[in-house]
Amino acid sequence: MTEEEIYEYLAEILQRIDFISEELISTESFFTAYHLCKDIDKKDIPFVAFSIEFNIPLWTRDDKLKDHLKIKGFNNFFDENLL
């Protein structure tokens, strides 16, 4: 592919993605996510908070994170076997 074709393909992909502002996530969801993630990886807090806020399964392949969240009572994970 040429560089121009790559940029066109990237533009097509980005048009299909809806970016959500963290401002739409409630303080309560961030607080809950913080307590779930603080001992494992604080970088995952926004993703877990988004999952909590919109009741959407968390899609991650981070088994360490999954195991930790399950221990803390979070079990809303996307099942890749459904694809």
User: What is the pLDDT, as a whole number, of residue 64?
Assistant: 96
**Domain range summary for the chain, segments of one domain joined by +:** 23-82
Q: Residue 27 burial by CB count (10 A; 0-12/13-18/19+): exposed, middle or buried? A: exposed
Q: What is the pLDDT along the chain (83 residues), one digit of tens a residue?
A: 899 999 999 999 999 998 888 899 999 999 999 999 999 999 999 999 999 999 999 999 999 999 999 999 999 999 988 87
Give dist(CA 46, CA 13) in Å, integer.
22
